[in-house]
Amino acid sequence: MDINFNKNEDYNKLLVSDLRNRFAKVKLGGGQKRIDKHHEKGKLTARERIDYLLDSKRKSIEIGAFVGDGMYEEHGGCPSGGVVVKIGYVSGKQCIVVANDATVKAGAWFPITGKKNLRAQEIAIENKLPIIYLVDSAGVYLPLQDEIFPDKEHFGRIFRNNAVMSSMGITQIAAVMGSCVAGGAYLPIMSDEALIVDKTGSIFLAGSYLVKAAIGETIDNETLGGATTHCEISGVTDYKAKDDKDALDTIKRLIDKIGDHDTAGFNRVEAKKPKENPEDIYGILPKSRADQYDMLEIISRLVDNGEYDEYKKGYGQTIITAYARIDGWAVGIVANQRKLVKTKKGEMQFGGVIYNDSADKATRFIANCNQKKIPLVFLQDVTGFMVGSKSEHGGIIKDGAKMVNAVSNSVVPKFTIVVGNSYGAGNYAMCGKAYDPRLIAAWPSAELAVMSGNSAAKVLLQIEKASLLKKGEEITPEKEEELFSKIKDRYDNQVSPYYAASRLWTDAIIDPLDTRTWISMGIEAANHAPIEKPFNMGVLQV
């Protein structure tokens, strides 16, 4: 191993260490003091509830842990968007669990909270996964109500999805483990079955203070909408639990009796570990995002036994297309090759750039995977499509459009891992968030933006200089350097994987060593949902 390997390894391990430290902070939600107050009420926290509910000996993955990171600072912040979402196993069945974190603003819904809840429901709908809601929320965060209340992708869409999932036969179980007020009261009651915890759970459209103000009636919250009221008088809820654990135990028993699901029939054999040490990825992945490396070295450490079969190996070499297995599941891999490659004509092509031939090759491979019902895995490290007269005359826009069309119309499940760069239209062609990957995760080394921070800063600097010169200001070399650094720092913050994760452009930032788990659990989830339509690219034929 050379010195560069060691430098890369140190750098990437520091990124993973930073990831773990950030996650440890996020797990505290609203802070230790609020957690302690939660416990004093005899309640478990959102994460404790999920941990108790999920099968302890099975793996789980968390969606949107860094949602809200750096957002709403003027409102005190919103760690994890005030809601915890995990895919795991309950009584041996794969489920998605959504738990309000009442240590964050009493579980109130910020705009990003709504987006995260909708993402959880989207995953349930796409994969026909049972979904469990652990409700403990004060409702919409009123200072930001205009950003979450009336639009199509706002709060009301949650209840619309409840109804749609019910019609699809997707199991929904809700446990009211704290406050459940106003519009939020519809979520558990639009689920198939609802539980409520005695003395701590409550459901009502308006609390006692609002009832007094509105109609003059004096009544306490427990009598108005507590467990006894809703289990014995109104009939709104189906089960009364004595405490959090009793409610969660009841859910385990309910899930245990769900019938088997139909499968999509994706191919799986006995899993094998990668032949090479996956930890080598830390040393292979370069510290500088501009440096070249061989993506096949990464792939060989992600796939079973390091085995893969390249499709059109010698053609369109800046994209790798290969059949392989991950944790036993058959997959089709579409990956950006990041090393400089030489064509048969003796021409050099830059790694990470999509050329005419590589776009054509990827399109054909995606069509083949759809024909053979093989899930697709995209490994992104892409700077965009090739520009210049040669590419334009060769029809790069047409070839790129065909690739985007194939990705858009793919009917097999897609999974995206952002390894490094994810710039411009390359993000789209390699199945960015807008193209409906079942799951999309980023490594700590990822960058998502229209272009790199350096390139963007140069463009923005020219615009800023022109503006200042028009005002008659003198631009000295020192002033120009100061402007460039200021612009680049601002832009670099926006290309950070944490910036993307906070806005749910990706589902998670993960340690590269967890990639196999994410893809395997993702395909297992997708296998719940049989493919219902044929692959068709419309008028853009291959």
Q: What is the pLDDT of residues 415-431, one digit of tens each?
A: 999 999 999 899 999 99
Read off the DSSP letter of residue 71.
-
pLDDT of residue 542: 55
Region 369-387 average pLDDT? 95
Indicate the pLDDT class of residue 471, thresholds 50, 70 and 90: confident
Phi, psi of 493 (to 5 degrees): -60, -35
pLDDT band per the 50, 70, 90 thresholds, residue 473: confident
**pLDDT tens, position by position, 44-88:** 999 999 999 999 999 999 999 999 999 999 999 999 999 999 999
Top pLDDT among 80 and 493 is at 80
Residue 449 pLDDT level (bands cut at 50, 70, 90): confident
For 463, the token pair is 């615009």
Residue 513 has pLDDT above 90, yes or no: yes
Cβ atoms of 110 and 101 within 8 Å: the answer is no
- Judged against a pLDDT cut of 60, whether residue 541 lies above it is answered with no
Residue 368 contacts residue 506 (beta carbons within 8 Å) = no
Rounded distance between C-alpha atoms, residue 429 and residue 336, angstroms: 11
What is the average pLDDT across 17-41? 96
Query: Following DSSP, what letter does each residue of 84-144 receive, concatenated?
Result: EEEEEEETTEEEEEEEE-TTTGGG-B-HHHHHHHHHHHHHHHHHT--EEEEEEE--B-GGG
Contact between residue 340 and residue 349 where contact means Cβ atoms under 8 Å apart: yes
Task: Please give the single-letter amino acid code of residue 11.
Answer: Y
Give the pLDDT confidence score for residue 290 in this predicted structure.
Answer: 82
371-387 average pLDDT score: 95
Per-residue b or e along 207-217, where b marks 16 or more CB atoms closer than 10 Å to that residue's CB: bbeebeeeeee
Q: Is 90 exceeded by the pLDDT of residue 207?
A: no
Tens of pLDDT, residues 228-277 = 999 999 999 999 999 999 999 999 999 999 999 999 999 999 999 999 99
Higher pLDDT, 465 or 418: 418
Give Dmax over CA atoms of the chain in angstroms: 86
Side by side, which strands form the sheet with 61-63?
61-63, 83-90, 93-100, 131-137, 172-180, 193-197, 239-241
Higher model confidence: residue 351 or residue 269?
269
DSSP bridge partners of 385: 354
> How long is the chain?
542
Give the range among 3-17, 107-121, 202-216, 286-300 with minimum mean pLDDT.
Answer: 202-216
Q: What percent of the chain has pLDDT over 70?
A: 98
Out of 179-183, 196-200, 293-297, 361-365, pick the least confident. 179-183
Model confidence at 406: pLDDT above 80: yes
- Mean pLDDT lowest among 389-393, 489-493, 505-509: 489-493
- At 142, the pLDDT band (50, 70, 90 cuts) reads confident
Q: CB pairs under 8 A, 24+ apart, for 476-483?
A: none
- Is the pLDDT at 111 greater than 70? The verdict is yes
What average pLDDT does the chain have? Answer: 93
pLDDT at 502: 97
Q: Find, among 170, 46, 164, 190, the residue nearest to 105 by Cα.
A: 46
pLDDT band at 539 (very low <50, low <70, confident <90, very high): confident
Segment 202-208 mean pLDDT:
87
Please tell me the distance from the alpha carbon of residue 85 to that of residue 198, in angstroms, as a whole number.
Answer: 24
Q: Which of 470, 513, 512, 515 is nearest to 326 (CA)?
A: 515
Q: What is the mean pLDDT of residues 124-147?
A: 93
pTM confidence score: 0.94
Residue 517: Cβ-neighbour burial (10 angstroms; 0-12, 13-18, 19+): middle
The stretch 439-458 carries a mean pLDDT of 85
Which residues have a Cβ under 8 Å from the Cβ of 147 and sit 6 or more positions away?
111, 154
- So what's the pLDDT on residue 249? 98
| Cα–Cα distance measured from residue 202 to residue 113, given in angstroms and rounded to the nearest whole number | 21
Distance from C-alpha of 108 to C-alpha of 63, rounded to nearest angstrom: 19
Band of pLDDT at residue 119, cut at 50, 70 and 90: very high
Question: In the 3-class helix/strand/coil scheme, how is 333-353 assigned residue by residue?
Answer: EEEECCCCEECCCCCEECCCE
Q: Give the model confidence (pLDDT) of 210-221 as tens digits.
A: 888 999 999 988
Q: How many beta carbons lie within 10 A of that of residue 479, not counting itself? A: 13
Residue 453: what pLDDT? 66
Backbone dihedral region for residue 496 (phi beyond 0: left; psi -120 to 50: alpha; all else: beta): beta
pLDDT score recorded for residue 320: 98
